[in-house]
Amino acid sequence: MLYKRVLLAVDLTDESIKVANKAATLCSSLGAELIIVHVIESLNYAYGGDVPIDITDIQKQLQDTAKERMSILQEQLDINIAETCVTQGGIESEIHRIAEEKQVDLITVGSHGRHGLALLLGSTANGVLHGAPCDVLAVRVQKEQ
């Protein structure tokens, strides 16, 4: 079997279900396990170091909201999900870390493809591709007009 474990990295926007459905269909057809991850970018990381205020409550709120949205996403999928994970840190590095830790064969990400030099993939998908310990599938996502 080509892919036994698939890691689906989602941003939990409304478009996430499109990417999730593709990953679920792929897993169903291959008999692969699906692991879903969402990374909350740490505010310290996003702003390059020290934030001069206590952000503990904000981070907790982001975590709670992400877990709620992850549950909704899980309910929308017609597949058994092996595991879900909401984590915090640098998006690409956390996805790489979890992919290695869970020994996945494929990382699936959504690609908006709208940003400057990363026009083909989108900045996050491009970052995941470089340094990934396995294959990466970028699923094209477009907002409804």
The answer to whether residue 56 sits within a structural domain is yes
CA 111 – CA 126 distance, rounded (Å): 9
**CA atoms in the 13 A half-sphere facing the CB of 38:** 22
Q: What is the CATH number of the domain that holds 111?
A: 3.40.50.620
Q: pTM of this prediction?
A: 0.84
pLDDT at 119: 43
State the Cα–Cα distance between residues 52 and 13, nearest whole angstrom.
Answer: 29
What pLDDT is stored for residue 115 in this prediction?
A: 46
Whole-angstrom distance, CA of residue 31 vs CA of residue 11: 25
pLDDT of residue 126: 78
Residue 34 lies in a domain: yes
Instruction: Tell me whether residue 122 is in a domain.
Output: yes
Q: What is the pLDDT of residue 116?
A: 43
**How far is residue 50's CA from residue 53's CA, in Å, rounded to a whole number?**
9
Residues 3, 26: contact at Cβ < 8 Å? yes
Total domains present in the chain: 1
* pLDDT block averages, 10 residues each, the chain of length 145: 92 91 95 96 64 75 94 93 93 94 95 52 74 90 64
Domain assignment present for residue 15? The answer is no
pLDDT at 43: 67
Domain assignment present for residue 134? The answer is yes
Please tell me the predicted confidence (pLDDT) of residue 117. Answer: 41
pLDDT at 138: 87
Q: Which domain holds residue 122?
A: 21-140
SS3 2: coil
Separation of alpha carbons 89 and 54, rounded Å:
17
Q: What is the pLDDT of residue 46?
A: 54
pLDDT of residue 120: 46
